[in-house]
Structures are given as C-alpha cells and as structure tokens.
Amino acid sequence: MKTRLLIMLLGFFLAMPGFTSANLQTPDNSEKQGERSTVPGSQDKAEDKESEECDCEKQEHSHKNWQAKMAEREQNLLAWVDQYTPEKKSEWIKVLAEKKELRNKWLSPENAQKREKWKQEKMAKIQELKKQLDAGKITKEEFVQKAHGGKAMGNWKTFHDLKAAVETKNDQQAATLLNQLLEQSKQHNEKIKAMLAE
C-alpha cells in the first residue's frame, strides 16, 4: 500500500506542471509536456522523455489527453476572465504566454541537466519523507503536504475553487479567485525563471 502511494505521488509530482513545466503550475499548473519535434528520429527521444518523466504504464492517462485537457482548461479560464475580470484579460494573456515560453525552455534539451538535477533532488526529498512516514514520525497528510509543498498545490486548489464558484454563479468569489490565481501564476513564472537561471 505504501509503495503504491509512493508511486502515485511520484507520478503526480512528475505530471504536475508547477514542478516540471510549470504550470508550470498556473491555473492549469499541471502543464508539462511541450510539443514534439518533427525532426526525423526525434519522436523516439520525445517518447523516451515522456516515459522518463512520467510512469505512464501505472497511471491512467495519456499525454495527448492531458494536453487537450490543459488547452480546454486554459480556454475555460480565459472565458471566466472575460466574464468576471475583463479588465485583466491582457495581463492573463501575457502571463499564460510567458508560462508556455518558460515551459518550453524548461523542457528544451539545453535544460536537460537542470531537469535531471531537479528530479533527483525531488526524489531524494520524497524518499526521506517516505522514511519518516514509515517510521511514524509524520502522518500521511503531513507526507502529502511536505512532498507537494503547500504553495505548489495552491494553484490547483485555487483553480478548483474557482470552477466551483463559477458553477454556483458566485460572481464575487469567482472574481476574487481569478485575481488570486493570476498572482499565483505570476509567482510560479518567477519560480521557473529562477530554476532556469540556476
């Protein structure tokens, strides 16, 4: 059971855009994969990268479905911006475009070493937390909180709270959450810039 939990958390980490692309974690902070190259032979490398970053056999998803879901999420987000905070639309467009650019840089071959270093550090942290969990020093909830990091999960939670506010037609709450999500997205972009600068 603990191994299964670890594998699921690991897959979640690697699929999160906030950590690897960085939606990197913006509203759809889970965006991660860039578009595949059309250079002959590069598709195999892209597939290797996908399997390296995500344990697809153990998770019930495909990256094409994931990319479509993220595109749909972005469309919904911009529609909500039009409806609840139209004065911020140009700012949102800029932030989302920057997010995509940063994700593409992060996933570029030039940053493979940085990605690998980040991945190793993350894995070491998870292994240490797993040891603490197994020893009873932390609870399962603490494990999840520390493994994901509270701020990194903020974008995901805010987006889902926003979706709920839209569904219940709570206009004031939706506008507040959109502004909050915009700030979180800007912070996320700054985090990715810092990771790229290391």
Q: CB neighbours (10 Å) of residue 195?
A: 20
Query: What is the C-alpha to C-alpha distance for residues 27 and 157, in angstroms, rounded to an integer?
Result: 9
| Overall residue count recorded for the chain in this entry | 198
- Summarize pLDDT for 116-155 with one digit per residue, the tens: 999 999 899 999 989 998 999 888 888 888 887 655 566 7
pTM score above 0.95: no
Return the C-alpha torsion angle 108, 109, 112, 115, nearest 10: 10
| DSSP state for residue 37 in the 8-state scheme | P
Residue 70: what pLDDT?
Answer: 82
SS3 call for 111: helix
Query: What is the radius of gyration, based on Cα positions, of the chain?
Result: 17
Residue 81: what pLDDT?
Answer: 95
Q: What is the mean pLDDT of the chain?
A: 75
- Which single residue is written with the structure tokens 């993220």? 70
Give the Cα-Cα-Cα angle 32, 150, 155 (nearest 5 degrees): 45
- Summarize pLDDT for 20-41 with one digit per residue, the tens: 444 444 344 444 334 433 444 4
